[in-house]
Amino acid sequence: SAADARAALRRCAAKLEHATIPPAVKQLDGSLNRFLHDVCGADAELPSVRFALETAVIGLVTRSPSALYASALGRGARGSVDIAALVDGEDDAPAFLPNRVVKLKAGVLAPERDAARVRDAVKKHYKVRVDANRRWSREQYETFLAHLGDAPLDFVEEPPFSSSNIPAALDETLAEADWSPAFDDAEVLVAKPALIGLERTLALARRHGRVVASSCFEAGAGLAHVAALGAALSDDAQGLGTYAWLAEDPFAFEELLDDDGAAFDVGAGEEALRAFAHRVFERR
């Protein structure tokens, strides 16, 4: 619960106040989480607490998280990150979004209707991703495919079975095993750093050619950290469209998007994270 997470964070903060961060955490090879576990114990294993602690430590050891993540993967970081817009499971994709990629939630309406929503989005010139959150049975997915026609898909998350012409992505499965042959078979891994951890996401990216970062409805500061990580991953639209669903956001993530709102400015975002951290500490 939120209350449990807050209590765990308070305990961790008290222990970390007098701890020295070892230089090895910058390797992001498991060293960061070993440090957090050594200091905080089991409290650091709660996903939301782990993400808060990971991002806090990263913010202390570098001015550019994206560059650190990219260095851990042996590559350079991009200066901006494209955002995949998120469309509710009962809505059609809007006609004039600036985003080139949309993710359609599915599984709420009939499979025939979801297929029609995909065809409509493709006609509007979007690259389309579909996520039914494991709601589809095998029969329902067969119906969806039968009504899809020749509409292309970027990928489908967690399909009930593989189809030769539809790229499959894993999402929830990533939290259920460290690695399995299914990870190799999937064309895409949709990693939620707030759920599986920053270091674990990087570990997946070291082993798989296409890892996409996705949010868990974090507030703006958390989204900015996910965006910084996304800047080090494959050159893909990242799953950051939840920012548009936030009722309020003290971090003002939306102000760090480009003029059209389709991409996140990584450098400006990292500067905003430093300023936000200073404001938080000043209020202590």
CA distance 261 to 263: 6
Which pLDDT score, from 0 to 100, does residue 9 have? 94
Query: Can you give the pTM of this predicted structure?
Result: 0.94
Digit-coded pLDDT (tens) for 181-216: 999 999 999 999 999 999 999 999 999 999 999 999
- DSSP for 104-123, please give it: EE-SSS-HHHHHHHHHHHHH
CA distance 18 to 7: 18
CA distance readout (Å), 201 to 86, 122, 206, 215, 275: 21, 30, 9, 12, 26
Contact by Cβ (8 Å): 265, 258: yes
Which pLDDT score, from 0 to 100, does residue 261 have? 85
Which pLDDT score, from 0 to 100, does residue 284 have? 67
pLDDT under 70: residue ranges of the chain: 284
If we measure between CA atoms, which residue out of 71, 103, 67, 84 comes closest to residue 266? 67
CA distance 216 to 195: 8
Classify burial at 260, counting beta carbons within 10 Å of its beta carbon; exposed 0-12, middle 13-18, buried 19 or more: exposed
Pairing of the two strands 80-82 and 85-87: unpaired
